[in-house]
Amino acid sequence: MRSTQFQYHQALVRPVWLILGLSVAAASLLSTLAQAQVPARDQAENRDGFYWLNEQNKASLLMLTEEGIITRELAANIAGSLTQVIADGDKPGAARSRDYLVVEADMIDIGGPEVSRLHSGRSRQDLGQTSTRLFLRDAFLESYAQFIDARVALLAMAEQHPHAILPFYTHGVQAQPTSLGHYLGGYLQAMTRSSDRYQQAWARLNLSPLGGAAGGTSSFPVDRARLAELLGFDDVLVNSFDAGQIANQDNGVELATVAASAALTVSMFAADLTVQYADPHPWFQLTEGAQTGISSIMPQKRNPIGLERLHLTTSTVTGAAVTYLIQSNNVMSGMGDYKGDQPLQVVRQLGSMYADFSNMLEALVFDPERALAEVNNDYSMTTELADILQRDSEVPFRVGHHFASDIVSYGRERNLKPAEIPYEVAQMLFTESWKAYGRAEERLPLTEPQFRLALTGENMIDSARPVGGPQKEEVLRMLAAEKARIQADLEWLAATSRKLNDATQMRAAGVAALLGYR
């Protein structure tokens, strides 16, 4: 799965449906989602600690010059030294240190000791915490794009058979019939909640610690807001002690737990598929290929390794998140325990999870006839039978429920499907249900065609009325809402990426202007 966000070496990414390789029908259906296109960004392999340290150096250089903390002549010298250090680090096999003192020593070798004034009002503490957030930003946006890809794939499946009937389960037992659009739409809605949490977490992630020094700022008139702007942050993480010594912990915890919450949703869907996959004829099945495997001894087996892989990646995300909670617990401020890259690993693993999810969905085939047969083989429609008796014939709920339960017991004891229950038996059981309440002459107020219709999944779904139910018009409305939300999230991703790109260009242009002053 190629991510929507990071299509490198292109001015704009291709539409999501094209990247996903969906069918022509699904591509046509989802083509409106391609309108928000995301600007390409620099190659991830070059955005290492050395890269982000020097991007902070660029931002600091421009701010110090604008504030008059250093002269323009000195700024030009620093710009030359910095540019040479970056060029040297970009050479094949060159060392790319993320330690400011190492980079500073290289700059001094080029421009003399005066270039060390670049570090005015800064510390390796705020540089480090800013780097952490810059790394997390990159990983977050890449994972968020993979998250959108997975939602698009899930929506495509829902739109292909929105009204196909399948069972859902409570307590591991078939409960009621629903439609594919309703079932998958439930997971889409849960993923929309994940999107809300992601964007809320982004708002707290994209705040700048830079300029807070070691925690107490400095006597230099550092413009922290300008530093934030130059690095594409939305604002400053105001309290400098918090910025350097506290916020990185709760920010890491938030990202890790939000990721774990999202992984639990995906793992639930994977578990649903795994349970029904044990059936000799599952209604969700992976096409043979990269998502399946064969047995070395049993020729009939087609193992769902794509599902197994997805189980593993969801567990990896939740396990890594819990690890960070333990790692960060009961540690005094300023220590290094909670300043590692565990949250970054969680966010990157989250992206891998969504990539695995998308790949699995692309290979997943739904069999409407098999799913309907599973519904018709059981008695999950008897809830509607009791409701019809109450709603249309004024039969008390408990009487109708008792009658429907007796229908189930009679059929299962004789290995009958609902459609095979004799009508005269239904009449007899209805009369027996009333006897418990002292009325022995009551007759079933349904004709045989009405009784047969009441025990169909199609009727139960078509009869649904409340908002959010599986009835056709509600399913289409809810899927349209999910499609609109995906479109909005693509636009958010595009706007966020443009802002970061603009900041990158602003830094580059500022340094270029200083170089021209020499």
With a cut of 50, which residues of the chain have pLDDT below it?
Answer: 1-29, 34-36, 43
Question: CA-based angle 42:127:493, to the nearest 5?
Answer: 40
Q: Which of 60, 36, 46 is nearest to 9 (CA)?
A: 46
| Termini Cα distance of the chain | 47
Distance of alpha carbon 469 from alpha carbon 391, whole angstroms: 18
Q: How far is CA 64 from CA 51, 226, 315, 424, 445, in A?
A: 20, 10, 46, 92, 87
pLDDT for the residue 338: 78
Residues 328, 331: Cα–Cα separation, whole Å: 6
Compute the distance between CA of residue 196 and CA of residue 259 in angstroms, rounded to an integer. Answer: 12
Cα 366 to Cα 363, 372, 378, distances in angstroms: 10, 11, 20
Could you read off the pLDDT of 460-511 as tens digits, one per residue?
A: 999 888 999 999 999 999 999 999 999 999 999 999 999 999 999 999 999 9
Under 8 Å between Cβ of 344 and 325: no
- Bridge partners of 168, per DSSP, are 176
pLDDT at 31: 53
Residue with tokens 């260009």: 505
Residue 516 to residue 383: CA distance in whole angstroms: 79
pLDDT reported for residue 340: 80
Query: So what's the pLDDT on residue 33?
Result: 52
- Give residues with Cβ within 8 angstroms of 235, minimum separation 6: 207, 208, 225, 228
What backbone phi and psi angles, to 5 degrees, belong to 413? Answer: -65, -25
The amino acid sitting at 165 is I
Question: In terms of C-beta density within 10 A (0-12 exposed, 13-18 middle, 19 or more buried), how is residue 421 classed?
Answer: buried
pLDDT of residue 38: 57
As a whole number of angstroms, the distance between CA 448 and CA 53 comes to: 78
- Predicted confidence at residue 97, as pLDDT, reads 96
Q: What's the distance, CA 27 to chain centroid?
A: 21
Contact 437/408 with Cβ under 8 angstroms?
no
Q: What distance in Å separates the CA atoms of residue 490 and residue 15, rounded to the nearest whole number? A: 11
Percent of the chain with pLDDT over 90: 77
For residue 292, what pLDDT is reported?
Answer: 76
Number of H helices, E strands in the chain: 19, 8
What pLDDT is stored for residue 26 in this prediction? 42
For 366, the 3-state DSSP assignment is strand
**Nearest CA-CA partner of 195 in 238, 258, 246, 121:** 258
Alpha-carbon distance 201 to 247, whole Å?
13
For residue 279, what pLDDT is reported? 85
